[in-house]
Structure 1
Amino acid sequence: MLVRPDVVAEISADRAVDRGGLQCHPLRFKRLRLDVEADDVPRFGAGPAEAAG
């Protein structure tokens, strides 16, 4: 199933990894970003390695 992005959501995440190499903290939804279009956000893997904020 293909997904077409329509809205942008802001999330928080950390880089904690358990001994098995899996991320051990979930992503947390912060808010919808109605001031940003989906086309303004780089696709997964296409942007910088680390977030600016």
Structure 2
Amino acid sequence: MSAEALQWFKSTYSGDEGGQCVEVAASPRTIHIRDSKNPEPTLRVTPATWTAFTTTLK
């Protein structure tokens, strides 16, 4: 799936002033992660890896 076809989300903690934000998009087998100011390349991880990462942050 191309990055353009994904629905990207950014954190609710991100403001609208155009700062650097991390954006995330989910597809069935992959979680895509990118920098809003530099959208290419994207980092791709498995859903299990993403869950482990976000669980660790909590």
- Bin of the TM-score, shorter chain as denominator length: under 0.3
More strand by share: 2
Q: TM-score, normalised by structure 1?
A: 0.25
